[in-house]
Amino acid sequence: MIEARQQILASVRRALGRDRTPGDPSVIAQHIAAHGRGPQPRRSQGDHAALVERFIGMASEASATVESVASDAAVPAAVSDFLGRENLPARLVASPALRPLSWDERPLLDIRFGPPEDKDLVALTPSLAGIAETGTLMLVSGADTPSTLAFLPAVHVALLRKRDIVGAYEDGWERMRAAAAEGKPPRSVNFITGPSRTADIEQRLLLGAHGPRRLHIILIDG
Amino acid sequence: MHATAHDFPANAKKALGDARLQGTLGVIEGNRQRRAATIARLPEWDQLREAAKAIKTHTLKNLDLYLERYEAAVTAAGGSVHWARTSAEANAIVTAICRAAGARRIAKGKSMIGEEMGLNEHLVAAGLEPIETDLGEYIIQLRGEPPSHIVMPALHLSAADIADTFRSHHRDLDPSRPLEADQALLDEARSKLRQAFLSAEVGITGANFLIAESGSSLIVTNEGNGDLSQSLPRVHIVLASLEKLVPTFEDAAVILRLLARSATAQEFTSYCTISTGPRRATDSAGPEQYHVVLLDNGRSAMLGTPFEDMLRCIRCAACLNHCPVYNAVGGHAYGWVYPGPMGAVLTPSLVGIEEAGHLPNASSFCGRCEEVCPMKIPLPKMMRHWRERQFSHGLGSPTPRWGVRLWAFFATRPRLYRLAAAAAAWALGRLGAKQGGFRRLPLAGGWTGTRDMPAPQGRSFHALYAERRR
């Protein structure tokens, strides 16, 4: 094992001519520290209202559905109305991070907090950010946000605050770094653009391969 | 995987006569049209290509430093990096990790490195049960076939083929169930594979990028299978080759903007999942172990050679989709894991020009592959390098070798060339004047076998060019 490591690195160094001049670690340290951005697509720029519009447009194009609510207080009603509209049972599993919402107002909603199980049909999660350029949600794992919620149940309802909508992927990385503990990114970061899909049968698009068949985004004002 | 690239001429001939295959290959046209439309919506496309090329070039020029930095970051996050010189070493490492974890069942996300290693065969021989979870990979695993495309592995199959495959393998289900609808096929696979995700002790995925700054692995998927494979089982193993490294998340973002658009004509794939180490003390989900198997398998030997540019490849398959040869013969004819133009360059590097010498010749040199390549890889130039090496190593059959020698003799004597070309054109023009073309020509049977050679119309291009310039 150690031999394989040494031999591969030696072979790389030889090819790079490092046997004559050793590599300078400050070159890569500078490149990393700079976190330099590549060309930023014009569609990722603009004022916040324009980015919100773009986010909604691009997410809808990717077959997600989007609705807006005025505040956190309106979320339980929006969730239970969505389940009713879609003829889904009034039962869901949610990120523990969402426990503080006013669920008491909807006593008929059967809600459990924690990681999902096979039988769970609907999951509810928060989002760290929304990225306007492609209508992409950004979720991060943590004590109160198990990452499997976004993949195992057939329906994923995601909450997103309007102020968390940013333009470009790089703006998302900045949010991720700001939220990170000890300079490490969260164990898992999920970019999600629309529901799960496949085109493996004669290149015809089908939704709901292994992940959710439905992605519903509830945008919260403020 | 065992290579049969030396059989390319016979494989290609068979593929051309396979009406069913020719029908399924027709769907690639739709991908090309959608891709062009998606790219047209992003005016920064060419700037992004340049930036992506610069990122990979910088990384490759400092690959030793980035590899060490990456390894240190993985370790700091609680994961382990295992270095493998060859496929055999990599297979042994994966098997050892599975055994140590007491695993029996393995949920696999799609990985071309896994195909390159022939990992499934190896795991089965070791008494383990690997289950491919990407729908296309699952179908071909049931059929015991290799993928025919690096993004769409079951491209060569029709819906009816898939229904037959499910009927013959899913014996526990009602044999008279209807499987005509695509949705029925998908639902059946979904319920079968869900059991795999939930019961597997180990999940194996590939990596689209390894990120040096944080020691993270990043995969893109549409189905969500790779994401479940790496979050539900107790152990996650990432298979990646050396050149998957990029320095930062910002660098990954540049290339991510190219990858999905170029591969599947999507603005972005449904999922892009980044993992850094195993589950942490405070996490409520995720694997307890995180391993990366870092495979060389001939890549370090490509650095500093004319084939270094190939290490920028991000496996989007745009070169396959735009290649007239791939579109005519499909992926299996190439006889190894990587087909199309990228395979014609990479396969000889990894399995040897003696085995794969036909592949760099399976090109019309139309240049579309380089034109569409998001990483600006000069594929035709590298195919020419292989042809030169093949010639200088005395490989290949005698007729073309003598043909090239004969052509070189004339080409280096311009006057003689013009004279001979004019004479040949005149003679062919006279001979073919009556029918306007030739059904058959000596030494050109490969060409005239499928089309007629039109008779030359009169004077040579040289003569016309000289006249117009005046």
pLDDT tops 90 at residue B469:
no
> Where among B249, B266, B295 does a domain terminate?
B295
> Where among B277, B295, B313 does a domain terminate?
B295
Q: Give the pair of three-digit tokens for residue B357.
A: 């010498």
| Nearest CB to B223 within list A32, A184, A209 | A209
Which CATH number do you get for residue A132?
Answer: 3.40.50.10420
B340-351 vs B379-392: helix crossing angle, rounded to 10: 40
Same domain, A73 and A181: yes
Q: In B, residues 35-64, which contact A (CB 8 Å cutoff)?
A: 42-44, 47-48, 51-52, 55, 58, 61-64
CA proximity to B340, closest of B349, B329, B350, B351: B329
User: Which positions in chain B touch A156 (Cβ < 8 Å)?
Assistant: none
User: Which positions in chain A touch B282 (Cβ < 8 Å)?
Assistant: 142-143
> Alpha-carbon distance B286 to B297, whole Å?
30
CA proximity to B333, closest of B298, B299, B361, B314: B361
DSSP B233-300: SSEEEEEEEGGGEES-HHHHHHHHHHHHHHHHS-SS-SEEEEE-SS--TT-SSS-SEEEEEEE-TTST
Same domain, A65 and A86: yes
Q: Which pLDDT does position B116 carry in this prediction?
A: 96
> Alpha-carbon distance B211 to B218, whole Å?
8
ipTM, two decimals:
0.96
> Alpha-carbon distance B320 to B331, whole Å?
9
Q: How many CB atoms lie within 10 A of CB A166?
A: 22
- At A46-89, the pLDDT tens digits run 999 999 999 999 999 999 999 999 999 999 999 999 999 999 99
Locate tokens 């014996």: which residue?
Answer: B171
Q: Which pLDDT does position A105 carry in this prediction?
A: 93
Phi and psi, residue B434, nearest 5°: -65, -50
pLDDT tops 90 at residue B443:
no
Same domain, A71 and A99: yes
Q: Which domain holds residue A144?
A: 42-220
User: Which positions in chain A touch B139 (Cβ < 8 Å)?
Assistant: 200
Q: Helix, strand or coil for residue A198?
A: strand
> Alpha-carbon distance B142 to A187, whole Å?
33
Torsion, Cα A78 A82 A85 A89, to 10 degrees, reads -120
Q: Considering only A145-149, B1-5, B45-49, B288-292, which range has the smallest mean pLDDT?
A: B1-5
How many angstroms away from the CA of B200 is the closest CA of chain A?
14
> In chain A, whose CA is at the least distance from the CA of B196?
A210
> Where among B250, B274, B295 does a domain terminate?
B295
Interface size, chain A vs chain B, as Cβ–Cβ contacts under 8 Å: 261
Same domain, A111 and A91: yes
Same domain, A134 and A191: yes
With cut-offs at 50, 70 and 90, classify the pLDDT of residue B428.
Answer: confident
Q: Considering only B41-50, B195-204, B445-454, which range has the smallest mean pLDDT?
A: B445-454
B164 is a domain residue = yes
Q: Which pLDDT does position B7 carry in this prediction?
A: 93
> Alpha-carbon distance B325 to B332, whole Å?
12
Helix or strand (DSSP H, E) at B12: helix B8-16
Mean pLDDT computed over B464-470: 82
With cut-offs at 50, 70 and 90, classify the pLDDT of residue B101.
Answer: very high
Q: Helix, strand or coil for residue B306?
A: coil
Q: Are A121 and A154 in contact (CB under 8 A)?
A: yes
- At B185-231, the pLDDT tens digits run 999 999 999 999 999 999 999 999 999 999 999 999 999 999 999 99
Pairing of strands A165-166, B437-438: unpaired
Q: How many CB atoms lie within 10 A of CB B61?
A: 16
Number of domains making up chain A: 2
> Alpha-carbon distance A177 to B214, whole Å?
11
pLDDT tops 80 at residue B394:
no
Same domain, A67 and A9: no
Same domain, A5 and A104: no
CB of A127 within 8 Å of a chain B CB? The answer is: no
Phi and psi, residue B205, nearest 5°: -130, 165
Sheet holding B105-108, edge to edge: B80-84, B289-295, B235-241, B202-205, B105-108, B129-132
CB spacing of A210 vs B89 below 8 angstroms: no
Same domain, A5 and A99: no
Alpha-carbon A58 to chain mean position:
15
Same domain, A59 and A90: yes
Q: In A, residues 146-205, which contact B (CB 8 Å cutoff)?
A: 146-148, 151-152, 168-170, 173, 176, 184-204
B25 Cβ contact list (under 8 Å, min separation 6): B155, B156, B327, B328, B330
Q: Are A54 and A193 in contact (CB under 8 A)?
A: no
CA angle, A35 then A137 then B271, to 5°: 85
Q: In A, residues 10-29, which contact B (CB 8 Å cutoff)?
A: 11-13, 15-18, 23, 25, 27-28
Q: Give the pair of three-digit tokens for residue B401.
A: 């070798």
Q: Give the pair of three-digit tokens for residue B42.
A: 């992003």
B345 is a domain residue = no
Same domain, A189 and A135: yes
Same domain, A106 and A141: yes
Same domain, B284 and B149: yes
Mean pLDDT computed over B23-48: 96
- At A181-199, the pLDDT tens digits run 777 899 999 999 999 999 9
Q: Are B76 and B215 in contact (CB under 8 A)?
A: yes
With cut-offs at 50, 70 and 90, classify the pLDDT of residue A1.
Answer: low
> In chain A, whose CA is at the least distance from the CA of B227?
A151
Q: Helix, strand or coil for residue B304?
A: coil
Q: From the CA atom positions of chain A, what is the Rg in Å?
A: 21
CB of A144 within 8 Å of a chain B CB? The answer is: yes
With cut-offs at 50, 70 and 90, classify the pLDDT of residue B320.
Answer: very high
With cut-offs at 50, 70 and 90, classify the pLDDT of residue B424.
Answer: confident
A102 Cβ contact list (under 8 Å, min separation 6): A72, A73, A76
B408 is a domain residue = no
Report pTM.
0.93
Q: How many CB atoms lie within 10 A of CB B100?
A: 10
pLDDT tops 80 at residue A7:
yes
Who wins on pLDDT, B389 or B393? Answer: B389
CB of B199 within 8 Å of a chain A CB? The answer is: no
> Alpha-carbon distance A9 to A27, whole Å?
18
B331 is a domain residue = no
pLDDT tops 90 at residue B121:
yes
CA angle, A44 then A46 then A49, to 5°: 105
pLDDT tops 70 at residue B262:
yes
User: Which positions in chain B touch A115 (Cβ < 8 Å)?
Assistant: 284-285
- At B123-182, the pLDDT tens digits run 999 999 999 999 999 999 999 999 999 999 999 999 999 999 999 999 999 999 999 999
Q: What percentage of chain B carries pLDDT values higher than 90?
A: 79
Alpha-carbon B141 to chain mean position:
18
Q: Give the pair of three-digit tokens for residue B456.
A: 């030359």
> Alpha-carbon distance A79 to A90, whole Å?
9
Q: Give the pair of three-digit tokens for residue B280.
A: 């942490």
pLDDT tops 80 at residue B408:
yes
> Alpha-carbon distance B297 to A179, whole Å?
38
Buried/exposed code over B294-321 (b: 16+ C-beta within 10 A; e: otherwise): bbbbbbbbbbeebbbbbbbbbbbbbbbb
> Alpha-carbon distance B79 to B279, whole Å?
10
- At A110-165, the pLDDT tens digits run 999 999 999 999 999 999 999 999 999 999 999 999 999 999 999 999 999 999 99
Q: Give the pair of three-digit tokens for residue B93.
A: 């490492």
Helix or strand (DSSP H, E) at B344: helix B340-351
Q: Are B215 and B278 in contact (CB under 8 A)?
A: no
Q: From the CA atom positions of chain B, what is the Rg in Å?
A: 25
CB spacing of B275 vs A188 below 8 angstroms: yes
Torsion, Cα A111 A112 A117 A121, to 10 degrees, reads 10
How many angstroms away from the CA of A156 is the closest CA of chain B?
13
B180 is a domain residue = yes
CB of B283 within 8 Å of a chain A CB? The answer is: yes
A180 Cβ contact list (under 8 Å, min separation 6): A186
Which CATH number do you get for residue B264?
Answer: 3.40.50.10420
How many angstroms away from the CA of B362 is the closest CA of chain A?
26
Same domain, A135 and A91: yes
Q: Helix, strand or coil for residue A144?
A: coil
With cut-offs at 50, 70 and 90, classify the pLDDT of residue B420.
Answer: confident
> In chain B, whose CA is at the least distance from the CA of A139?
B273
With cut-offs at 50, 70 and 90, classify the pLDDT of residue B1.
Answer: low
Q: Which domain holds residue B224?
A: 42-295
Number of domains making up chain B: 2
